[in-house]
A and B are shown apart, each in its own frame.
Chain A
C-alpha cells in the first residue's frame, strides 16, 4: 500500500513539475510577448490620437488668423471657444483672467500644463477626470512679427478631448492579451500534460515492469518504442531481465537437478531399506539370544536401519515439499484429541504438561499435525529441559499450539536458522533420533495449511521466563465449513 502510494506520489511529482515548468514557460512567454505588444500598441494608439488631436487643433487655429483686435472682448472669446469646440471635445479659451463663458463642467486644466503653454509651446497632457481619461491640449496664440519673431497675443486655447474611445480600444487590446495569455496557458498545460504523459507512460511502464520483475516474473519485457533515452532504458531493462532470467533459470535448473538427485537417491535407498526394515524385528528378537558381540552388532544394525529409514523418509518428505507435490488430506478433527493421540502414541502423555481445552474443531491434515507436534515436543525433550508444556487455544479463524520447554532457550544466533535443513545448533550434535530435518519438515507442514490466501506458520522464540517457545498457527477452515455445512 505504502509502495503504491509512494509510486503515485513520485509519478504525480514528476507530472506536477513538468506541468509547472511548462505553465511557467508558457505564462512567461505569453506575458512578455503580450505585454510587450500591448504596451507598444497602447503607445501607438495614444500617440496617434494625441498627434491627430494636436494637428487638428493647430489646423483649426490657423483659420482664426489674422487677429484683428486685442484685447478680445468676452464675446470674441466665447465665439472662439464655440468655434473650436466639436464632436470630440470642447475648447477653453483664456485671455489672462478673462475666460470664455458657457462652460459648466469643472475645469480639468492643470497648473503645470498652463505653465508649459505660457512658455510658448504647444503642450498636452493626459489626465483622469471622474475616472475617465482626458487629453488636454493647450497653446498660446502668437502674432507674427517679421524676421522669424513673434509676440504672444495673451490668448490661450485649450481643448479637452475625451480618450474614452482610445481607452476602449486599449481595453479591447488588453482583453485580447488576457485571452491570448489564457489560451496559451491552457495550451501550455495541455502540452505539458501530453509531454508528461509521453514521458511518464514509459516511466510508469518501466516501474510496473520492474515491480513485476521484483515479484519474480522474470519473463517481463518492455516494448521498445522509438530511439530516445527512455527507449535505451527500456532496452537496457530488457537486456537485464533477459540476463537475469537466463541466470535464474540456470540456477533453478541446477537446484532442481540437485533436488531431483536427492529425491532419486532417497527413492533408490528405499528398496534396500524396505528389506532391511522388514527384518529388524527379527534381529531385535534374536539379539538377546546371540552371544556377546554378535548380539550388540545385531542391535546396532537394527537401530541404525531405523534411523536411516527415518532419514530417508524425511528426505523424501522434504523433496515432496520442494517439488510441490505435497497435498493435504483434510479432515475435521478435535484438535485436543489429536494432540493427545500424538503424545500418547509416543509415550509422552505423562511427561508433558498439556493444556488442551476440548471441543476445538479444525479442518486440517491430521497426519501433518501429528508430524508437527511430534517434532516440536521431541525437539523440546532433546534440546530443552522438562517440564515441557503444550498449550492449545483457539482464535476465530486460527488454532494456536504453543510448545514450550524450560531449557536455556534458543541462542539469538541460532534463532533465524532453527528451521534450516540439517542446521547443527550444537557443534557436537549427538547422533540421536533427530534426522536434522524434523523442524524443517514441521515448518513446511505448517505452511502447507492455507486458508483464504493466508498460510499456517511456525515461529520459534524464547519465553520471557527462559526456555524456547515454538508457536504453531494453523487456519481453522473447518469451523467455517461446519457452520455452513449440513446433511447432504
Chain B
C-alpha cells in the first residue's frame, strides 16, 4: 500500500519497534478525520470514535496503547471518560482541549490525563507527545536505566528500575506510566531538588517552556498512591520556590 511504502521514510514511530494503537475520541467529524488521516500516515493504527461511550466500549473490545481524548464531548464529557479510563488501568491519556482554558486543563489533569495539547494542533506536535508518552510505558529510559541493577530500597518503598515495578511494604503499587517515570526520575538522585521545568523536559519531553501544572498534577496523583499521608509527603517533597525532590527519608 501507498501508506506502507512510505512508512519507513517518515514514520518516526518506528523507533518504538512496533506500530502503536491509538484510540481517538473526538466528536467533530472533520477534526476526527483529519487527525486520523495524519496519525495513520505517521504509522499508528488509529481507531476513531465520536463519543466517550463508544470509546470505552472500544477499549473493552480491543486493547489500545494510547488514548487521544477531546474534553468537549456530547453525552459523557471528557473528564468523566478520562476518570473511567484511568480506573481501568494505566493507559496513557492525552487530552485535546479546544480552549486553552486553565480550568479545563487543571480539571483534565486532575481526572488523570498524562498530557494535553491545544486544538488546533499540528499532526507532528501531537505525534511527538504520543511518542513521549509511549516511551514512558516502554522499558526504554533515557536516564534511569543501566547503571544500577536490582531493586532499590527506599524505606518501605521498593523500586525496580529494570522490571519497572514499584512496591510499598511488599505490596505492588499500580502506577500510570507518567507517574512511574516521575518517580524514577526523582528517586534517581535522592535528596536533589529538581525544578518543574527540568522534570517537564525529562519526563514529558516538552520543550523548556512546558506547563508546570502537568508536574504538579502528576505529583499529586503519585503522592496519593505512595505516601501514607499525601498532605505530609515523605517521598516526594515540595521545595517551595524551587521544585521537588525525593526524600530525604
A interface list, Cβ under 8 A from B:
267, 270-282, 285, 306, 309, 312-313, 316-317, 320, 325, 327, 329, 331-334, 337-338, 340-342, 344-345, 361, 363, 366-367, 369-370, 478, 481-482, 485-488
Contacts and interface: CB of A to CB of B under 8 A. Distances in A.
19 contacts: A271-B30, A271-B119, A274-B34, A275-B31, A275-B34, A278-B122, A281-B41, A306-B122, A313-B100, A329-B212, A331-B212, A333-B197, A342-B208, A344-B208, A345-B207, A345-B209, A366-B197, A485-B240, A488-B238
Contacts of B101: 325
Nearest to A263: B99
Given A271-B31, A333-B195, A341 B209 contact: yes
A contacts with B: majority SS: helix
B158 interface: no
Contacts of A340: 208
A327 B102 contact: yes
B192 interface: no
Given A279-B37, A316-B99, A341-B208, A332 B241 contact: yes
A488 B102 contact: no
B237 A487 contact: yes
A344 B207 CA distance: 10
B239 A487 contact: yes
A289 B209 CA distance: 35
A277 B213 CA distance: 26
A278 B28 contact: no
Contacts of A337: 197, 208
Most buried by B among A280, A331, A485: A331
A278 B35 contact: yes
A361 B213 CA distance: 19
B243 interface: yes
Given A276-B120, A309-B120, A338-B208, A482 B99 contact: no
B196 A281 contact: no
A278 B35 CA distance: 5
Nearest to A302: B122
B28 A274 contact: yes
Interface string B55-73: 0000000000000000000
A482 B241 CA distance: 5
B99 A267 contact: yes
Given A277-B121, A316-B99, A332-B241, A272 B30 contact: yes
Nearest to A281: B123
B38 interface: yes
A306 B239 CA distance: 40
Contact of B209 (A276, A285, A366): A366
B224 interface: no
A275 B33 contact: yes
Given A275-B34, A367-B209, A478-B241, 16 more contacts: A271-B30, A274-B34, A276-B34, A280-B122, A281-B123, A282-B37, A332-B195, A332-B196, A334-B195, A341-B208, A341-B209, A342-B209, A345-B207, A363-B241, A370-B209, A482-B242
A30 to B, nearest CB: 74
B122 A338 contact: no
Given A271-B30, A316-B100, A282 B120 contact: no
Nearest to A332: B241
